[in-house]
Chains A and B, each alone.
Chain A
């Protein structure tokens, strides 16, 4: 046997040993299996939009609609699963523009509004990140699609194929290196915060729901993000510009027979208080509905939707997302008049897992 062949066999043995050990280690950490919510998964979901209907709406927005609207519950209630296109930490406006500019899209659209992200100006990080996804879709090559489908076969079996939490990049970010004064490396969520399912549903892990220490860590991340966000109020002209562009997109979709509704998902505690201060409802939400002449559902207006508490101030726990979705669908139907088929009468809302909203 040549030395090179011996090298290759030892290499194979070492790598296999590492892979098995690495996989077993992450399984033992009880983090839950998470799919990569990457461009390909988004593009794969984006392909579905032409089959949307009131019972199978397209959802865009930020993370709240990803956590709070439980797709499996929606499917159990209406018989159809929504098309989840929302992107955590981004502004949904580029997605709205994309759907409005797609002449084949004539469906039903739910737009989640997290004001600080929804009204993020053009060129800001949340807007740029959403734009990247939109730009990726038409360039999604056949080769990338094949890779995506191979990855889909592997992902359910291998925990360590979790780019968001377990790849080299996030592992390096976890290193205890003192920060450089004047710089910010971005938010550092605990690994236990959430997982992504294959349909892009995002849910908190069991550890997150059970452990208040982890919840506090996520709350600290929100505070950290707040401390590094621009403090100045948006000029009114900029808000009007955003309203105009949203109205234009909504009108485009409606002109083709599509339907649109805005939703404001629950937030809680100091986060909600800060949001009310930075983005007063009358200046943003009410004005958005009036300007675009579009119906909207604001959680605080409905006792059935406002009874929940967010463990980390911004998203619902999985159990609450189930009942929230059950409560949300009839409200949506009543508010919009959309012909949503409700297969089963929603069960009475369960008691929220946390004390009632103050």
Chain B
């Protein structure tokens, strides 16, 4: 079930009524759990079995791990849990990809091998709920958390429908404590939750699907080069689309949870106003980046094992993060590019830090190079000023957009063709987008960037509290009216396929 559907509207209204009936807390939790299973099963009922397997195995494995004191059996139990979760993920998500590459490898070695095409359907949200259950087992293994004694609380933590299929990727400490005590939304939570739901649907249905998707699909869908303007517009359209689609989903999920009285973690903080890539990853898909940091980067050694290992760890984390998004080399390249940009940023920061320290030392000992001072004063802007930061944010967005080409293009050849078209390397490309398309994409891009820049150090809650109530109402009504004008859109969210 997608949030932008009539079936969800009916489901949500019925669930809100049930959740607000004077029932015992346990009954309400059972309602939520059953509703979550229904929410998932309405896509493809058999896949609910995978969810059940993952839930049951991880619940009992975590208990066994916590009870076991000896290191080897603990490791064995953890391995069973990892094998099961990652095995299911690998089979459903990467089975075809692995077979395809294995065939290509054999073919490159001159061995003719024709594997039967596996007809594997990817269960919706498997990457998300696998990471949710893994974080629980790993936390218990690392003795960071106690195993949850209540199966109901644990099953609801894994299955709670707002986050189930596309995040935010919750940790045990985010949700399980909230299930222990009765929760019901206050009037304030309910209204703010409905506002967030409206905002998320507006981002998805109006901006991503109606204003941007067509232009991105057109440019990325043709098998020939396009004019630089078209290529840039296509990439900017996708850049806006992926943000509004995914952040729209997260905003809906947070809003829906709030209407039920639960708080989910933030997943986006205006990422297109990021200054640098480490800032970007503190603002984009925050729950994934922190998951990768805590369960991959830090266990690999993080930055504790010297400079070279830090860079290697960063690259491994980003390459695997790319692969998490999908079984394609393009996602690996996307992750790799982010890894390279993160490494480059770290190098520059280290170098600049070293330089500043040297400068300060020389300053203290009276050896300031007058030439350097003169050079610095001739620069038109200071990188630490607002204008400089804005320039750096634009540079970051430019590089992020380059990486989106690999994320969106169906294959490497198409990605290269778009990139070459963007920089005018391929002459005589076709003009594809109409004046209306260009107007839509450029307006949305400018508005989106302005919003991100204005909100960079703020939050919606703060903005909501600052705005006069009637102005908030006008904005809210405007979004809902555009949503109604756009009408039903049952397009799936892009991140469902991950």
Interface positions of A (Cβ within 8 A of B): 2-8, 10-11, 14-15, 18-19, 22, 36, 40, 141-144, 146-147, 150-151, 154, 160-161, 163, 167-169, 171-173, 175, 177-185
Are A177 and B477 in contact (CB-based, < 8 A)? no
| Chain B residue, CB-CB nearest to A186 | B434
Chain B residues near A151: list those with CB within 8 A. 6, 488
Known: A150-B6, A169-B486. A11 touches B480 (CB 8 A): yes
Given contacts A19-B484, A143-B43, contact A4 B192 (CB under 8 A): yes
B191 in complex: contacting residue of A7, A40, A175, A181, CB < 8 Å: A7
Closest chain A residue, CB of each to CB of B189: A4
Docked CA distance A14–B469 (Å): 14
Q: By the criterion CB–CB under 8 Å, are B434 and A15 in contact? A: no
B482 cross-chain contacts in A, Cβ below 8 A? 168
**Is B487 engaged at the interface, CB distance under 8 Å to the other chain?**
yes
For residue A183, which residues in chain B have a CB less than 8 angstroms away from its CB?
A: 431-435
Q: Is the interface of A mostly helix, strand, loop or mixed?
A: helix
The segment out of B96-104, B329-337, B436-444 that lies at the interface is B436-444
> Contact: A8 with B6, CB < 8 Å?
no
Q: Which of B10, B191, B433 contacts A8 (CB 8 A)?
A: B191
CB distance from A304 to the nearest CB of B (A): 42
Chain B nearest Cβ from A142, distance in angstroms:
5
User: Across the interface, do A142 and B42 meet the contact criterion of CB distance under 8 Å?
Assistant: yes
CB-nearest residue of chain B to A2: B188
Name B206's contact: one of A3, A22, A168 (CB within 8 Å).
A168
7 contacts between A and B (CB under 8 A): A3-B469, A142-B43, A151-B6, A151-B488, A180-B435, A183-B432, A183-B433
Residue numbers in A under 8 Å from B41 (CB-CB): 142
The total of chain B residues at the interface (CB under 8 A) is 48
A7 to B465, CA, bound (A): 11
Check A142/B487 contact, CB under 8 A, given A150-B6, A168-B206, A183-B433: no
Q: A150-B10, A177-B435, A183-B434 are in contact. Are A168 and B485 (CB under 8 A)?
A: yes
- A146-B469 in contact (CB<8A): no
Task: Find out whether the CB atom of B485 lies under 8 angstroms from the CB atom of A167.
Answer: yes
| Min C-beta distance of B316 to chain A, whole Å | 36
Q: Does B65 contact A (CB under 8 A)?
A: no
B336 to chain A, nearest CB (A): 32
- Determine if B33 is an interface residue (Cβ-Cβ < 8 Å): no
B413 interfacial contact with A, CB 8 Å? no
CA distance A3 to B433 in the complex (A): 44
CB distance from A75 to the nearest CB of B (A): 29
Nearest CB in chain B: distance from A287 CB, A: 30
* Most chain B C-beta atoms within 10 Å of own C-beta, residue among A15, A18, A40, A172: A15
Cβ of B356 within 8 Å of any chain A Cβ, yes or no, is no
A-B contact count (CB 8 A): 132
Which chain A residue shows the least CB distance to B42? Answer: A143
A153 to B214, CA, bound (A): 29
Q: Which residues of B contact A168 (CB under 8 A)?
A: 206, 210, 482, 485-487
CB distance from A277 to the nearest CB of B (A): 28
Are B5 and A143 neighbours in the complex by a CB distance under 8 Å? yes
A40 to B41, CA, bound (A): 19
| Interface positions of B (Cβ within 8 A of A) | 1-2, 5-10, 41-45, 187-188, 191-192, 194-195, 206, 210, 430-436, 438-440, 464, 469-470, 472-474, 476-477, 480-482, 484-488, 490
Q: CB within 8 A of A181: which of B431, B440, B480, B488?
A: B431
Question: Contacting B470 at CB < 8 Å: which of A7, A19, A36, A185?
Answer: A7
B311 to chain A, nearest CB (A): 43
Would you call A177 and B6 a contact (CB within 8 A)?
no
- Chain B residues, Cβ within 8 Å of A147: 5-7, 488, 490
Min CB gap B354→A, angstroms: 50
Cα distance A182–B44 in the bound complex, in angstroms: 44
Among A141, A143, A163, find the residue whose CB has the most chain B CB atoms closer than 10 A. Answer: A143
Determine the distance from Cα of A123 to Cα of B482 in the docked complex, in whole angstroms: 34
Q: Is the CB of A7 within 8 A of B469?
A: yes
In the complex, are the beta carbons of B473 and A178 less than 8 A apart?
A: no
Question: Considering the chains assembled together, what is the distance between the CA atoms of A36 and B191 in angstroms?
Answer: 32
Shortest distance from the beta carbon of B126 to any chain A beta carbon, whole Å: 16
Q: How far is the CB of B36 from chain A (nearest CB, A)?
A: 14
- Name which residue of chain A comes closest to B230, CB basis: A183
Task: From known contacts A163-B488, A169-B486, infer whether A185 and B481 are also in contact, taking CB-CB under 8 Å.
Answer: no
When A and B form their complex, which 6 residue pairs have the shortest distance between CB atoms, in order from nearest? Answer: A3-B469, A14-B477, A143-B42, A146-B7, A150-B6, A10-B473
Best-surrounded residue of B187, B440, B469 (most CB of chain A within 10 A): B469
Interchain CB contact under 8 A, A173 and B436 = yes
Closest to A175 in B: B436
- Chain B residues contacting A141 (CB-CB under 8 Å) are 42-44
Contact partners of B476 in chain A: CB under 8 A: 7-8, 11
A181 to B432, CA, bound (A): 10
User: Bound state CA distance, A36 and B431, in angstroms?
Assistant: 31
- Distance of B406 from chain A, by nearest CB (Å): 24
Contact call B488/A180, Cβ cutoff below 8 A: no
Min Cβ gap B73→A in Å is 43
Instruction: Name the residue of chain B whose CB is nearest to the CB of A15.
Output: B480
The docked-state distance in angstroms from the alpha carbon of A37 to that of B434 is: 25
Q: How far is the CA of A183 from the CA of B438 in the complex (A)?
A: 12
Given A147-B488, A168-B206, A179-B434, A7–B473 Cβ distance below 8 Å? yes
- Distance in angstroms from B438 CB to nearest chain A CB is 7
**Interface-centre pick from A147, A160, A182 (highest chain B CB count, 10 A):** A147
CB distance from B211 to the nearest CB of A (A): 8
Contacts of A161 in B (CB 8 A): 487-488
In the bound complex, residues from chain B placing their C-beta under 8 Å from that of A185 are 434, 436
Judging by beta carbons under 8 Å apart, are B194 and A8 in contact? yes
Given A8-B195, A144-B5, A147-B7, also A2-B480 (CB < 8 A): no
Does the CB pair B42–A172 fall under 8 Å? no
Assess the B1–A182 pair: CB atoms within 8 A. Answer: no
Enumerate chain B residues within 8 angstroms of A15, measured Cβ to Cβ: 477, 480-481, 484
Contact (Cβ within 8 A) B487 A163 = yes
A183 and B431 alpha carbons, distance in the complex (Å)? 6
Identity of the chain B residue whose Cβ is nearest the Cβ of A172 in the assembled complex = B436
Beta-carbon contact of B191 and A4 below 8 Å = yes
Give Cα A221 to B210, complex, Å: 24
- Nearest-CB distance from B414 to chain A (Å)? 15
Asked if residues A180 and B438 are in contact (CB atoms below 8 Å), the reply is: yes
- Given the interface pairs A5-B191, A144-B5, the reply to whether A177 lies near B486 with Cβ below 8 Å is no
CB distance from A174 to the nearest CB of B (A): 10
Taking a contact as CB atoms under 8 Å apart, the answer to whether B485 and A143 are in contact is: no
Nearest chain A CB to B232 CB, angstrom units: 14
A339 vs chain B, min Cβ distance (A): 40
Complex CA distance for A175 and B436, rounded to whole angstroms: 8
What residues on A are CB-neighbors of B206 within 8 Å?
Answer: 168
Given contacts A5-B187, A147-B5, A167-B487, whether A11 and B434 have CB atoms under 8 Å apart is no
Q: Tell whether, in the assembled complex, residue A171 and residue B485 are in contact, meaning their CB atoms are under 8 Å apart.
A: yes
Known pairs A2-B187, A19-B484, A177-B439; list 16 more (Cβ under 8 Å): A4-B188, A4-B192, A7-B473, A8-B194, A10-B469, A142-B42, A143-B8, A144-B7, A146-B10, A147-B488, A150-B10, A151-B6, A151-B488, A172-B436, A173-B436, A180-B434
Residues of B within 8 A of A142 (CB): 41-43, 45
Known contacts A19-B484, A171-B485, A183-B433; is-contact A4 B469 (Cβ 8 Å): yes
CA–CA, A14 to B477, complex, Å? 6
Question: Could you tell me the distance between the alpha carbons of A141 and B5 in the complex, rounded to whole angstroms?
Answer: 12
**Bound state CA distance, A22 and B430, in angstroms?**
39
